[in-house]
């Protein structure tokens, strides 16, 4: 049982008050490492969500936040970063218990979250109006940025705190008000974050928090004219549903969706670092990463040796509870999710892919209590297989082989998604040709998986619309307004005041 003041009930935060769900609903949050109940939290129903949107609407329309000087808003962002720093270990523990990821990963997440709050504080301080030369010295023409309004921020379960912070930090910096809805599976770190936002003194109604399933509260956040922007990170199907629901209101929608990310290895790439990068790219956080490199595309001449070494290394990955310092990766997020991953393993076999390693639940009785699944590699995969084309969101790596640069590129772009891709080669000119030709939002050359708050993150194709992080991540939360000020008005004379 997790007994931490940072996520203790009441857990809904509406108009600056911590409240229980109006209908008395609760939900048990389960530790995926052993199936135990971590916490029982408040579960919102539709009425709570409607109340949260109303609070955000009122705070935007009549509260001070959108009109607060940017320097003051920056102060709040920096204060939140400081509070996160002070609670770094507690936050990491909460994230590990809730998601299953290792404590090392959770600490990296928290540090990235702190960096994101600091980055947007800094970026907001550098934004200036743009003066436009109209050719008329009497006219002052300015392009200014204003907050977009009330935002619904909807996040997934794999990086709950990180994904939500990529939304909350720029939304606060821009002067928006918001309703945050974390995944029903992993809400605890978002509750803790909002406790810190409350401690930082952010005014009531600016940040509101509800926990519940998308099915229960989704429409209150997306099918309403009271929300100006929906920023969603999650699966492509849910993203499409949200875009359809929001369309009649012409609500802005920013979608960060899934990926099926190729990792292309040319024969001249450094062998050991390439194996290491493929292993990490595919199996970190048990593959529950939108940008996981789960599609290995490797040159014919090195493929056998490469796959054999990968399999050897994959079998040596230590998985176990995230709090155990010996664990290198944790469980899948839930039993239901493990069932889904297992169904993909069965599908791969039925499609004719060759199972090289993994593919069976661990025998260890301690691990059997949690939703663990071993790193699994399939060789002899073909581009038409569903296993190759669909996001499994688990520790499954598929292997395809290529002979020429053109074949590698064709395979790398043969996806409906377009979130991320990796290329490894010692040939700088080849590397440059590949990174420019790959149709993905992030492309790594001789690296994999890294990002920085200052560079945009997002996808081509079915991986979404819009960008998070970087200057574009702030622009998502801003409207652009052109102000034309004539300092010496004269009669225009278009209509001649005719005597008809």
Point out the residues that are catalytic: 256, 290
Q: Is residue 214 a contact point for ligand NDP (CB under 6 A)?
A: yes
Segment contacting ligand NDP (CB under 6 A): 177-185, 343-351, 354-362, 444-452? 177-185
∠ CA 491-494-495, nearest 5°, is 100
| Strand, helix or coil for residue 39 | strand
C-beta of 280: minimal distance to ligand NDP in Å? 17
170 versus 459: smaller Cβ distance to ligand NDP: 459
- Cα dihedral sign for 100, 105, 110, 112? negative
| Strand, helix or coil for residue 61 | helix
Q: Which residue has the tokens 């040596």?
A: 316
Per CB under 6 A, the list member of 11, 106, 158, 392 interacting with ligand NDP is: 158
375 versus 459: smaller Cβ distance to ligand NDP: 459
Contact 347, 387 (CB under 8 A): yes
Using CB under 6 A as the criterion, what x/- string covers residues 182-211 for binding ligand NDP? -xx---------------------------
Q: What is the residue-wise DSSP string for 234-295?
A: S-HHHHHHHHHHHGGGT-EEEEE-----EEEE-TTS-HHHHHHHHHHHHHGGGG--TT---E
- Those residues whose C-beta lies under 8 Å from the C-beta of residue 74, and which sit 6 or more positions away, are 121, 124, 125, 173
Contact 416, 237 (CB under 8 A): no
C-beta of 97: minimal distance to ligand NDP in Å? 18
Dmax (CA) for the chain in angstroms is 97
Using CB under 6 A as the criterion, what x/- string covers residues 260-299 for binding ligand NDP? ------------------------------x---------
Q: Is residue 25 a contact point for ligand NDP (CB under 6 A)?
A: no
Using CB under 6 A as the criterion, what x/- string covers residues 401-440 for binding ligand NDP? ------------------x---------------------
Per CB under 6 A, the list member of 256, 309, 342, 379 interacting with ligand NDP is: 256
For residues 429-457, b (16+ Cβ closer than 10 Å) or e, as one string? ebbeebeeebebbbbbbbebbebebeebb
145 versus 440: smaller Cβ distance to ligand NDP: 440
Q: Is residue 393 a contact point for ligand NDP (CB under 6 A)?
A: yes
Instruction: Return the residues of window 457-496 that contact ligand NDP according to CB under 6 A.
Output: 459, 464
Of 487, 478, 456, 496, residue with least CA distance to 119 = 456
147 versus 160: smaller Cβ distance to ligand NDP: 160
Cα–Cα distance, 477 to 252 (Å, whole number): 10
Segment contacting ligand NDP (CB under 6 A): 58-66, 150-158, 341-349, 355-363? 150-158
C-beta of 245: minimal distance to ligand NDP in Å? 7
* Residues linked to residue 443 through DSSP beta bridges, in sequence order: 421
Tell me the angle at which helices 214-222 and 236-246 cross, rounded to the nearest 10 degrees: 40
Contact residues toward ligand NDP (CB under 6 A) are 154-159, 163, 181, 183-184, 213-214, 218, 221-222, 233-235, 238, 241-242, 256-259, 290, 391, 393, 419, 459, 464
């Amino acid at each position: 049982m997790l007994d931490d003041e940072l996520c203790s009930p009441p857990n809904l935060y509406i108009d600056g008050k911590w409240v229980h769900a109006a209908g008395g609903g609760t939900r048990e949050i389960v530790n995926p490492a052993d199936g135990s109940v971590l916490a029982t939290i408040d579960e919102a129903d539709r009425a709570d969500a409607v109340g949260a949107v109303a609070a955000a609407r009122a705070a935007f329309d009549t509260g001070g936040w959108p009109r607060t000087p940017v320097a003051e808003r920056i102060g709040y962002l920096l204060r939140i970063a400081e509070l996160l720093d002070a609670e770094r270990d507690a936050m990491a523990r909460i994230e590990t218990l809730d998601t299953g990821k290792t404590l090392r990963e959770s600490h990296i997440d928290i540090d990235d979250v702190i960096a994101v709050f600091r980055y947007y504080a800094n970026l907001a301080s550098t934004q200036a109006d743009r003066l436009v030369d109209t050719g008329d010295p009497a006219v002052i023409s300015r392009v200014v940025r204003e907050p977009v309004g009330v935002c619904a921020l909807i996040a997934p379960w794999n990086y709950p705190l990180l994904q939500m912070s990529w939304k909350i930090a720029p939304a606060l910096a821009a002067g928006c008000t918001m309703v945050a809805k974390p995944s029903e599976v992993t809400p605890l770190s978002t509750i803790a974050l909002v406790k810190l936002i409350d401690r930082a003194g952010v005014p009531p109604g600016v940040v509101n928090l509800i926990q519940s399933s998308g099915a229960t509260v989704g429409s209150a956040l997306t099918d309403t004219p009271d929300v100006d922007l929906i920023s969603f990170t999650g699966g492509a199907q849910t993203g499409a549903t949200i875009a359809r629901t929001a369309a009649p209101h012409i609500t802005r929608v920013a979608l960060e969706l899934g990926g099926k990310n190729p990792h292309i290895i040319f024969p001249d790439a450094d062998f050991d670092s390439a194996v290491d990068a493929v292993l990490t790219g595919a199996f970190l956080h048990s593959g529950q990463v939108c940008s996981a490199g789960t599609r290995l595309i490797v040159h014919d001449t090195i493929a056998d040796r490469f796959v054999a070494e990968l399999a050897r290394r994959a079998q040596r990955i230590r998985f176990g509870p995230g709090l155990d310092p010996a664990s290198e990766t944790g469980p899948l997020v839930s039993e239901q999710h493990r069932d889904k991953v297992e169904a993909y393993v069965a599908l791969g076999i039925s499609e004719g892919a060759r199972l090289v390693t993994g593919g069976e639940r661990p025998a260890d009785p301690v691990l059997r209590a949690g939703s663990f699944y071993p790193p699994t590699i399939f060789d002899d995969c073909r581009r038409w297989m569903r296993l190759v084309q669909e996001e499994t969101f688990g520790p499954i790596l598929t292997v395809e082989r290529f002979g020429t640069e053109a074949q590698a590129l064709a395979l790398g772009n043969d996806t409906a998604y377009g979130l991320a891709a990796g290329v490894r080669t010692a040939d700088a000119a080849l590397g440059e040709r590949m990174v420019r030709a790959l149709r993905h939002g992030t492309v790594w050359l001789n690296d994999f998986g890294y990002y920085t708050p200052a560079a945009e993150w997002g996808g081509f194709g079915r991986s979404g619309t819009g960008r998070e992080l970087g200057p574009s991540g702030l622009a998502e939360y801003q409207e652009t307004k052109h102000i034309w000020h004539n300092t010496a008005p004269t009669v225009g004379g278009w209509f001649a005041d005719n005597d008809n």
